[in-house]
Amino acid sequence: MVFQKYIRRSDMISCVLCQDAPCSNACPEFEPGEALRSIWFDNPDVAALKYKESSYCATCNAPCEKACISKNIVPIKSIMKDLTEKVLPVTEIAIPDNEDRLKCDIGGVPLENPFLLSSSVVASTYDMCARAFEAGWAGVCFKTICSLDIHEASPRFSAITGDNGSIIGFKNIEQLSDHSVAENMSIFRKLKENYPTKFILASIMGQDEAEWESLAKLCEENGADAIELNFSCPNMMEDGLGSDIGQVPELVERFTRAAKRSTTIPVLAKLTPNVATMSPAAEAALRGGADGIAAINTIKSITGVNPYTLVSQPAVRGRSALGGYSGNAVKPIALRFISELGQNPALKEMHISGMGGIETWRDALEFILLGSGSIQITTAVMQYGYRIIDDLKSGLNYYLAQMGINSVKDIIGAGLDSVSETTDVLERDTILFPKFNDEDCIGCGRCYISCMDGGHQAIKFDNRIPKLDGSKCVGCHLCLLVCPQHAISVSKKRITRN
């Protein structure tokens, strides 16, 4: 597995990942647009193996680059060359010929792979779910069904973006499905009829016990494979709904019990991260009879305040409100909650459906290693489309095959042992030094600046060459993290203090 060593997203930062990519249309031999996407989504090995024959590129006059519509033309030819010359030689296995190792389940109901759309706009109509199924998603968690009168504000999103404009963190103030319950039930029936092997997870929100019970029953009768109880939407207009429930274990237990009373299919409680710890609500869901937990829903947030209007984002006719934060920026927080659930012995038998910031197969793998048995995604789909499923599946499948793992189920929770809730367990006597790789260093001095002003003054910078002063280095690795060229690695050299 190449693990970003030879080719990275930053090598193609000017690529805008076009719809109907002009580079692919211009190339008589390959689909460079697809290869670029695979690199973007951490899947260069599979791209290199697919485009094995791209030595063709050496002799062509790069119509792909001429067709590129990005303002800064993407160096497609040299990227394809890197795939063939740098990545391909270090791939260890061929692309596996089937995806059987991705098969898993939620509460015994089969999933052809671990990937579902999470409950949101991305899974809110028949047509959208059908297109997602055709694209290869194993299932959908349908947009939360309720009997409330839903009117959404405009605009309803805001985002924190990276240097290349891609969304890092995403805020929404959206509520639930604005279709009637009857409309949504007819969508379920049609989806089940036309896609019987795909998984329909029905997200519901009741206003009292009777409604949690009746909605769960209706969903089962109309083809849902499992129910997800929305105890976690942070954007409800009325008190006592959504994350107000998820913050009160007694309510979680009571409403879970109500839903379980009327159903025979698995029930997951979707919990809020707007709490100090998730275990009290998760254990309450277990007491109420839940078969699993889904987490995380979005985090209450403010993404920015306009310095001229003084209104926070998104501004709705001069006002704004707290809203739910999602996307790649929330992944560390989500992983923390997933590991909390995964490590809790009381929840051992519960399925964990993990989400929050997943974009690539490696993100998904991290959730699986910390205890998730299935994966749900919204924000990355809103940004990049259903097509990300290609690299999610092929990347995870390739990783499993390469590691000799026959089933994704075998590694659920395999990374939990290394996580400690507190830092007191860590060994503190060894210093791991950084190593400057002369070949890649361009002498920018960023490591020096950070070490001087944010570290321990352990780097000297003469003639644009960084040098380590081992007597001062504490092995914090800040230099390694700030190097824009990834030219600093971890040395084998270490010292052990007494």
Ligand X SMILES: Cc1cc2nc3c(=O)[nH]c(=O)nc-3n(C[C@H](O)[C@H](O)[C@H](O)COP(=O)(O)O)c2cc1C
- Separation of alpha carbons 143 and 123, rounded Å: 6
User: Among 233, 447, 479, 483, which one carries the catalytic annotation?
Assistant: 233
CB-nearer residue toward ligand X: 101 or 179: 179
- Separation of alpha carbons 460 and 120, rounded Å: 52
CB of 328 to ligand X, least distance (A): 7
CB-nearer residue toward ligand X: 242 or 413: 242
DSSP states of 78-138 = HHHHHIIIIIGGG--SPPPS--GGG-EEETTEEESSSEEEPSSGGG-SHHHHHHHHHHT-S
Strands (E), 296-452: 299-301, 323-326, 351-354, 374-377, 430-436
CB-nearer residue toward ligand X: 329 or 468: 329
Both tokens of 350, joined, read 């519960």
In the beta sheet, which residues pair with residue 157? 172
Answer left, alpha or beta for residue 107, where phi above 0 means left and psi between -120 and 50 means alpha.
Answer: left
Cα torsion for 317, 318, 324, 330, to the nearest 10°? 120
Helix residue ranges, H only, 305-360: 331-343
- Binding residues vs ligand X (CB under 6 A): 118-121, 143-144, 170, 172, 174, 176, 203, 230, 233, 270, 297-298, 326-327, 330, 355-358, 377-380
Both tokens of 156, joined, read 């309803």
CB of 289 to ligand X, least distance (A): 20
Both tokens of 482, joined, read 């700030």
CB of 122 to ligand X, least distance (A): 8
Give the three-state DSSP class for 424. Answer: helix
CB-nearer residue toward ligand X: 270 or 393: 270
CB-nearer residue toward ligand X: 119 or 166: 119
Helix residue ranges, H only, 274-423: 279-287, 331-343, 361-369, 379-384, 389-402
CB of 233 to ligand X, least distance (A): 5
DSSP states of 19-66 = TT-HHHHH-SS--HHHHHHHHHTT-HHHHHHHTTTTTHHHHS--HHHH
Both tokens of 397, joined, read 């499948």
CB of 295 to ligand X, least distance (A): 8
CB of 414 to ligand X, least distance (A): 22
CB-nearer residue toward ligand X: 24 or 247: 247
- Separation of alpha carbons 483 and 471, rounded Å: 21
CB of 296 to ligand X, least distance (A): 6
- Separation of alpha carbons 186 and 442, rounded Å: 61
Q: Which amino acid is at 140?
A: V
CB of 273 to ligand X, least distance (A): 9
- Start-to-end C-alpha separation, the chain: 38
- Separation of alpha carbons 140 and 142, rounded Å: 6
CB of 201 to ligand X, least distance (A): 10
- Separation of alpha carbons 84 and 90, rounded Å: 10
CB-nearer residue toward ligand X: 216 or 451: 216
- Separation of alpha carbons 243 and 448, rounded Å: 46
Could you confirm whether 479 is annotated as catalytic? no
CB-nearer residue toward ligand X: 315 or 480: 315
Give the three-state DSSP class for 329. Answer: helix
Q: Which residues are catalytic?
A: 233
